[in-house]
Chains A and B, each alone.
Chain A
Amino acid sequence: MHARAALATALVAGRTSIPVLRSAPPLTLRQTGPHSVHLISTAAGPLGGDRLELDLDVAPGTTLELGSVASTLVLPGPGESRTLITARVGAGATLRFTPEPTVLAAGCAHRIEVGLTLASDARVLWREEIVFGRYGEQPGRCHARFDATLDGRPLLRQEFTVGTPALDTSPAVYGDARCVGTTLIAGPVPLAEAVVADGVAVLPLAGPATLVSALALDAVALRTRLEWGESTASRGRPAGPV
């Protein structure tokens, strides 16, 4: 299956409108508020061999919140599955991307590629969560690549690989964690120095952005840690106990 979905916002009379909302099953987009959209998966997967593309264009001065109604379960199939997400966030625009986690079922072979192109004063919160298999399950393989540029300069480049037990369990990589997650927060935040707690680090990047990086045993704990980090970044100080 090859699906290409797209979403674009426009500024109309000072307000955000969503003139482009093109679903491509299984990537079905539903507008759920004035500037919020949810992804509704209308088929299982992705399955091996699928190629799912989503393009987001957040016009200057507009706001978009994109979530999903359920986690994505990546299943095996003939060949590699791929999810490609590209997003352009214009000057003065705000994007909040908070989908539910990607769960790697046994035997899957998945690639995730995310390309984020930000204007210098764009405000973005971009969360990604990867869960290493369902309960008690050994995960398949996954290679995720994330690239964000700000005003044409590299802001954050990260890759995660899952599915090589000797590396996954390394105390330098994931240790005993079963989930990994990050939230990139671009735009002015008051946090000057890194803050660290159990399984979560809030990291001011070299560019004007902050990365929350978390590890956890399960998806619930992962979300708690990421949200704690996001709150810490926006307050500029540790947001109480995790």
Chain B
Amino acid sequence: MNAAILLLTDSRLPAGGHAHSGGVEQAVTSGAVHDVPSLGSFLRGRLHTTGAVATALAAASCAFASGTADGPWAWDGLDAEVDARTASPAQRAASRVQGRLLLRVARRLWPSPVLEELAGAVPSPHHPLALGAAAHAAGAAPEDAALAAAYHAISGPATAAVRLLGLDPVAVHRLLADLSRELPTAPGERDLPPSAAPWADLPAHSAPALDVLAERHALAQVRLFVS
């Protein structure tokens, strides 16, 4: 693993990730998430659905950024693949806001032509694209980007739940420790595309409850988190 990936997964990276709960805030409002076990169930579902999609797309983005993906593909094509896998407009918006902020930070941390190319092609890219390209610019490999994306899918919602429900932070980190065994750890182990794969076949796991939560949250009058 490349050490730069630690920076990309650190919640203190000033890329705005702390403002998003990944649907947890609305799940708390509805009562679906109300304690540590229900949070654990929420996080496991998130990891294996939208998390699996983000993981595969971030790895594909990192591979594409490294220039090994020969073919008639471009950044906007990869971005369209994320769009097609994100039915909820609120989730697409949250992904693009986080992607834009991450790309802006990454361009200052690891200046590189590939990040300029992405910013030129898609000014507000989906988060997995920004994460994959940033990982490459930082010297990391697609499997590192995959790990960062999978961790991002659960770490933000977990800490949001601590704030929303006043849960024991150690108990919540125990959930993350348990779930970390389900994170992708080696290339090819889970849903990782070969570097030049056509993107159409990448995972597209849906989470219907998350779609409803995201849209309800977007309409909520009072909210602590953006998404």
A141-195 residues at the B interface, CB under 8 angstroms: 145-147, 153-161, 166-167, 169-175, 177, 180, 182, 193-195
Most buried by B among A166, A194, A207: A194
CA–CA, A201 to B213, complex, Å?
A: 9
The segment from B2-10, B39-47, B106-114, B134-142 that touches chain A is B39-47
Mask of B84-125 contacts with A, CB within 8 angstroms, 1/0: 111111101000000000000000000000000000000000
Interface size on A, residues (CB 8 A): 40
The segment from B62-70, B168-176, B204-212 that touches chain A is B204-212
Mask of B40-59 contacts with A, CB within 8 angstroms, 1/0: 01111110111000000000
Mask of A194-215 contacts with B, CB within 8 angstroms, 1/0: 1110011101111100010111
Q: For residue B24, which residue of chain A has the nearest CB?
A: A172
Q: For residue B30, which residue of chain A has the nearest CB?
A: A171
CA–CA, A211 to B90, complex, Å?
A: 14
User: In the complex, how many angstroms separate the beta carbon of B33 from the nearest chain A beta carbon?
Assistant: 6
B218 is an interface residue with CB less than 8 A from chain A: yes
User: In the complex, how many angstroms separate the beta carbon of B198 from the nearest chain A beta carbon?
Assistant: 11
CA–CA, A73 to B216, complex, Å?
A: 34
CB pair A206 B200 closer than 8 Å: no
Instruction: Note all chain B residues with C-beta closer than 8 A to A170.
Output: 41-42, 44-46, 209
B38 is an interface residue with CB less than 8 A from chain A: yes
User: In the complex, how many angstroms separate the beta carbon of B44 from the nearest chain A beta carbon?
Assistant: 6
CB pair B87 A196 closer than 8 Å: no
Instruction: Note all chain B residues with C-beta closer than 8 A to A169.
Output: 41
Interface size on B, residues (CB 8 A): 41
Q: For residue A144, which residue of chain B has the nearest CB?
A: B206
User: In the complex, how many angstroms separate the beta carbon of B45 from the nearest chain A beta carbon?
Assistant: 3
CB pair B218 A172 closer than 8 Å: no
B222 is an interface residue with CB less than 8 A from chain A: no
B219 is an interface residue with CB less than 8 A from chain A: yes
Which A positions have Cβ atoms within 8 angstroms of B? 145-147, 153-161, 166-167, 169-175, 177, 180, 182, 193-196, 199-201, 203-207, 211, 213-215
Which B positions have Cβ atoms within 8 angstroms of A? 23, 27, 32-33, 38, 41-46, 48-50, 80-81, 83-90, 92, 200, 203-213, 215-216, 218-219
7 closest A-B pairs by beta carbon, nearest first, are A170-B45, A172-B45, A154-B84, A206-B83, A171-B32, A157-B204, A173-B45
20 A-B contacts (beta carbon < 8 Å): A157-B84, A166-B41, A167-B48, A171-B32, A171-B33, A171-B209, A172-B46, A172-B49, A172-B210, A173-B207, A175-B32, A200-B212, A201-B212, A204-B89, A205-B84, A205-B87, A213-B87, A213-B206, A213-B211, A215-B212
